[in-house]
């Protein structure tokens, strides 16, 4: 059998709906003779009589009715594809799967994702919180669309971009004598009870080096993996800590104050993407929003969140 053309099937469907070739021509925005030609070609191709001609009307045969049912099923599928394409274009359909380290996920990120959801209501959202290394592993294996971590890895499976390079800040009890200072330096923390980020955190070694270079000793009382937990220790009266500034800005306690710390000790936030998979429009839009919201947070932080690319010098 000669292969059917889409245009022939479309003409047959239009005639079945309109009942006449004239009505079908109006539906398809083509001439009536063009519809008649397509319909004749369709009948010749399927080699089945599909219509009885009665005056100027076409009466479909039982075979035509059966064929029309199948054609409708096909067109419903095409309509669904068209609808889905429109929804994808207008961000009314799709998904966004984010994996993030706790430092950015426990306060800042949910607000950003909610703002994104407000303008992309047909998009489903997932947020999983893990260590930076686990985030990198998940992105490398394409389990998530975008990751946020404090890890700058060299991995061919990853595409890594700097979201922001900030400086650690000092967490102090609100009634601590040092709370009166505008900036904290190593000498201020000499022999102070100190909650340190654990050895699995690369920033731990930067902190230790800063105090060694200043020849300042501390009372190391607790190690913990998370800045949020370090703040909780300070809140409980265990000592002081150096933590990342986004955690500091979102830690819910009036018993703590946070002050800039000098020298600058970098804490970098990185965006991670699967290297071998193109980024969806949803992922691109979310990444742009994340950057703009981080810039806004920086402006509103009263100098606590200092991003290196927004300063002349660190």
**Domain harbouring 276, CATH code:** 3.40.190.10
Residue 42, Cβ neighbours under 10 Å: how many? Answer: 22
> SS3 of 199, please?
coil
> SS3 of 167, please?
strand
Q: Are residues 124 and 54 in the same domain?
A: no
Range of the domain at 123: 94-163+268-300
Residue 236, Cβ neighbours under 10 Å: how many? Answer: 12
pLDDT digits 0-9 by tens, 80-120? 655 555 655 655 557 899 999 999 998 899 999 999 999 88
Q: Are residues 120 and 101 in the same domain?
A: yes
Q: Give a yes or no: residue 179 inside a domain.
A: yes
Hunting for tokens 């890895």 — which residue is that?
Answer: 153
Hunting for tokens 């104050």 — which residue is that?
Answer: 257
In this prediction, residue 314 carries a pLDDT of 34
pTM of the model: 0.69
Which of the two residues, 8 and 228, has the higher pLDDT score? 228
Nearest-10 Cα torsion for 293, 298, 301, 302: -150
Provide the domain count of the chain.
3
- CATH number, domain containing residue 13: 1.10.10.10
Residues 6+ apart with CB under 8 A from 70: none
In this prediction, residue 3 carries a pLDDT of 77
Tokens in use for 247? 């955690």
Secondary structure (DSSP) of 151-175: -----TTEEEEEEEEEE-EEEEETT
Average pLDDT over residues 17-26: 86
């Amino acid at each position: 059998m000669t292969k059917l053309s889409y245009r022939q099937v479309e003409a047959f469907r239009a005639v079945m709906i309109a009942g006449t070739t004239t009505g079908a021509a109006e539906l398809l925005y083509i001439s009536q003779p063009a519809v008649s030609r397509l319909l004749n070609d369709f009948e010749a191709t399927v080699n089945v009589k599909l219509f009885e001609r009665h005056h100027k009307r076409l009466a479909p045969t039982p075979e035509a009715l059966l064929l029309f049912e199948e054609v409708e099923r096909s067109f419903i599928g095409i309509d669904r594809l068209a609808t889905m394409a429109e929804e994808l274009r207008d961000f009314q359909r799709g998904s966004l799967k984010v994996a993030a380290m706790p430092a950015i996920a426990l306060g800042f990120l949910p607000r950003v994702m909610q703002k994104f959801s407000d303008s992309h209501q047909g998009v489903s959202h997932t947020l999983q919180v893990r260590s930076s290394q686990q985030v990198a592993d998940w992105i490398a294996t394409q389990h998530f669309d975008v990751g946020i971590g404090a890890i700058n890895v060299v991995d061919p499976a990853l595409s890594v971009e700097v979201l922001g390079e900030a400086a650690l800040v000092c967490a102090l009890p609100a009634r601590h004598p040092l709370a009166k200072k505008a900036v904290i330096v190593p000498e201020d923390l000499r022999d102070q009870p100190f909650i340190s980020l654990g050895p699995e955190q690369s920033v731990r070694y930067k902190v230790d080096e800063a105090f060694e270079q200043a020849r300042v000793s501390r009372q190391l009382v607790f190690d913990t993996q998370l800045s949020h937990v370090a703040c909780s220790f300070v809140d409980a009266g265990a000592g002081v800590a150096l933590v990342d500034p986004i955690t500091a800005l979102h830690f819910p306690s009036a018993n703590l104050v946070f002050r800039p710390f000098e020298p600058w000790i970098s804490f970098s936030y990185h965006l991670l993407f699967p290297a071998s998979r193109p980024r969806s429009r949803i992922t691109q839009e979310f990444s742009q929003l994340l950057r703009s919201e981080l810039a806004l947070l920086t402006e509103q932080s009263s100098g606590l969140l200092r991003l290196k690319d927004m300063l002349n010098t660190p």
